[in-house]
Amino acid sequence: MAWHFEHSAISPARREDIWPHYADVERWSSWSRKGVEWSRLDGPFEAGTEGKTKAPGFPAFRFRLTAVEPERMFASEAKLPGARLVIEHVIESVGAGVEITHRARVDGPMAWLWATLIRRGTEKGLSDGVERLAKMSAPAR
């Protein structure tokens, strides 16, 4: 059994306003306060680069960027015992702004166990991160 969650928000920001927040991995905690305590990347922000992050209430874990399309999306993957956690961050143009969507998916034979362990924190962290990013990237009025 796989588990999936996503949250979206509309912002008057532009893609180029959002993207620098994604590419600055060491500052992910500035917009994902409920999802990231700290994070780092061991190389350039491109597919194949590995890093490490720590979510509140969980031990730090390694991840790998699996896709990076500047100003459009990036995805990462973390291998868990018996499962895999995939997180996608997507920016789509809509009307006079953008729709920001963050998705999380756990699959594999032990997905049911990992979903039980991370569901609450991941749902809270992704939702808060999307909403905070939408607000902080909006142009000043």
List pLDDT tens digits, range 51-100. 999 999 889 999 999 999 999 999 999 999 999 999 999 999 998 899 99
Domains and CATH numbers, the chain: 3-136 (3.30.530.20)
Q: What is the C-alpha separation between 87 and 128, in angstroms, rounded?
A: 15
Q: pTM score, two decimals?
A: 0.93
Q: Using only the alpha carbons of the chain, give its radius of gyration.
A: 15
Phi and psi dihedrals of 58, rounded to 5? -130, 155
CB atoms within 10 A of CB 7: 18
pLDDT 10s digits, 25-60 = 999 999 999 999 999 999 999 999 999 999 998 899
> Rounded to a whole number, what is the largest CA-CA distance in the chain?
49
Q: What pLDDT was estimated at residue 138?
A: 82
> Strands (DSSP E) along 12-128, which ranges?
38-41, 50-54, 61-69, 73-80, 83-94, 97-107
Task: Residue 32: name the closest of 137, 128, 136, 135 by CA.
Answer: 128
- For residue 141, pLDDT beyond 90: no
